[in-house]
Structure 1
Amino acid sequence: MPLPSAPDLTNRVAIITGASRGIGREVALALASRGCHVVIAAKTVQAHPTLPGTIYTVCSEIESKYPNVRALPVVVDLRSADACVKAVEETVKHFGRVDVLVNNASALWWQNMIDTPTSKYDLINGINARGAFIMTRECMKHMLKNKWGRVVSMGPPLPKSYTEYAGKTAYYMSKCGMSMVALGAAAEGEGSNITGNALWPATIIESLAATNFKLGERDTWRKASILADCVVQLCGDARTTGETLIDDLYLAKLGMSQREIRETYNLDPSKEVPRFLAPSADGKTSGGDWKIKRGDVKKLKKDLEVSARL
């Protein structure tokens, strides 16, 4: 059974953080394909040899593919409250509204507490939890006024087992903060046609981060389009709110079969992917293994060596 018809988002306006590449770019393209104007909010303004894509290249790509859609590039460092506030102000000044916020940008840090310096803790919490909170707060002002809004944070379900925090305490504090922001938007937007949901992949998604951090074998990854399709569906789903969703389980709830999900999104459709990030019935994930260390690409070799010895 295919997905429900994708919603018509003509003249809606979406802000997607971290949209200069990867998952954010994929989400922006998917929303634009439904007629939604998009704001590409990210830091990258100049191409880098190892990090292709800028806010300007993504905007050009979108407007060339979808002539009736406008794409606005906005420079945003989520660590700056002023930059976040100005990004929303610029969006409203340019489009007159903001309807959708996708809190996508975030920083990765899978390390034990004793290996987490305060500067790194401040960085990931500043980008992930604090940045998502400020962006959501500013967008909610306009969503409440217009009586319509969708907030999606790329954040995980809140861990049910304390063992999940091993090797990821600071990371979960920041990423679960992103999830809580979406749940807060759901609670405070109730009655105003505003939904809020956290969205999390069941396994590793193909991206530069996955490649650069060597997060397993490519044939166990899925395409970023699985998250993008979920976001599009959530924009038309007024009944799903206040939930922490796993991408393939949400699509299955909408009617896709496991075969359809595998053939549509798995990089290797002949293989079942390991549910590396999705919690099982006991609340644990294989991704909760504290032996898996990541955080600084420059120190990846050391992380791999340490992980191999544990």
Structure 2
Amino acid sequence: MKDAAAKPLAGKTILMSGGSRGIGLAIALRAARDGANIALLAKTDTPHPKLEGTVHSAADAIRVAGGNALALVGDVRNDDDVTEAVLKAQGEFGGIDIVLNNASVIDLSPSLELQAKKYDLMQDVNVRGTFMLSRAAAPILKDAENPHILSLSPPLNLDPKWLGVHTGYTMAKYGMSMATLGMAEEFKKFGIAANTLWPATTIATAAVQFALGGDEMMKASRTPEIYADAAYEVFTQPATAYTGQSLIVEEVLAAAGITDFANYAAVPGTPDSELHPDIFL
């Protein structure tokens, strides 16, 4: 584990897609405890009827946690919004050190039931958004001391049970991973790391509650903080050596000396054997 007194992300700037709630906000708050700068590109200007949090409430929470925040109301599908977010983050904080591809749409409908507009939405946000935000920030990232791109997407598991159970969503998440791993090789000459990160168990977020398994699966999940702590470990690794990997949250933490995950259980006291494994693994 790293020295608790050290704050390696102090003054570093993270440009994140999404982040109004859930895993993205948890990662932002973990970085904020170091005094990081967080630029959030998110659509949630006003509260959602079912979901807590807006880009503005997230920015307020980041400031309370000790970081600096820039709330950028925009859509990662819109090229002008992406360009503006990159330029505003650079202008506000003097550069960009990390790009976090957090924004993602989930629809587990089988192919014959998946609406065309939802297919397009998943491809546009998950795949195209990851590609375009990473690409737009790359010319600035390469000037950073330890630049990282991190996408919250799974390893490329070609087992038919994942390819075939919700093909549209699988393509969208694997597309995020392919874009990231491709850029790891492409941007290696610039010293930019690019990795993916995925949890071994489900995470207690709105996506799990509304798209996967409701309250019962929420109880059998871990909190977003486990994802946040793993992302923090990734961000603090040397970019020139730690790149091109499909990382698993729990393995990243174990490598950092954190092997007791009991405190991350959404319901305290839930044994690991009763936690629900995440998809794609």
Scaled by the length of structure 2, what TM-score is found?
Answer: 0.90
Aligned to 2:264: 265
Q: How many residues of Structure 1 are paired with residues of Structure 2 in the alignment?
A: 272
* Contact 1:136–1:181 under 8 Å retained in 2: no
Per the TM alignment, residue 109 of structure 1 is displaced from its structure 2 partner at its CA by: 1.4
Contact 2:201/2:221 (<8 A) preserved: yes
- Aligned partner of 1:224 in structure 2 is 224
Higher Cα Rg, which structure: 1
| 1:1-310 equivalent positions in 2, closer than 5 A | 3-5=1-3, 8-66=8-66, 69-146=67-144, 148-213=146-211, 215=213, 216-238=216-238, 239-257=241-259, 260-261=260-261, 263-268=262-267, 269-272=269-272, 273-277=275-279, 279=281
Contact map agreement 1:76 1:83 (CA 8 A) in 2: yes
Q: In structure 2, what is the Cα distance between the partners aligned to 1:130 and 1:20?
A: 20
TM-aligned CA deviation for residue 23 of structure 1: 0.9
3-state SS of 2:108 partner: coil
Distance 2:212 2:182 in 1: 34
Shift of 1:227: 0.8
Structure 1 unmatched runs, 5+? 280-310
SS in 1 for 2:128: helix
Structure 2 residue runs without a partner (length 5+): none
2:46 counterpart SS class: coil
> Aligned Cα RMSD in Å?
1.8
Normalising by the residue count of structure 1, what TM-score does the alignment of the two structures yield?
0.82
Name the SS of the counterpart of 1:113 in structure 2: coil
Name the CA distance, whole Å, in 1 between partners of 2:276 and 2:217: 11
Amino acid of the residue matched to residue 263 of structure 2? T
Report the Cα offset of residue 65 of structure 1: 2.9
1:148–1:192 CA contact under 8 A, matched in 2: no
Give, in whole Å, the separation in 2 of the partners of 1:34 and 1:278. 32
CA deviation after TM superposition for structure 1 residue 147, in Å: 5.4
Contact 2:102-2:151 within 8 A present in 1 as well: yes
CA distance in 1, matches of 2:249, 2:242: 13
Of 176-185 and 220-229, more deviation after overlay is shown by 176-185
Q: What displacement does 1:191 show?
A: 4.3
**Which secondary structure does the structure 1 equivalent of 2:106 belong to?**
coil
Asked if 1 retains the 8 angstrom alpha-carbon contact of 2:204 and 2:221, the reply is yes
Contact 2:217 2:276 in 1 (8 A): no
1:20–1:41 Cα contact (<8 Å) kept: no
Letter in 2 for 1:212: F
CA drift of 1:63 comes to 1.3
Cα displacement (A) at 1:37: 0.5
Distance 2:127 2:180 in 1: 11
Contact 2:108 2:211 in 1 (8 A): no
Q: Secondary structure at the match of 1:72?
A: strand
AA matched with 1:65: A
SS of the residue aligned with 2:82?
A: helix
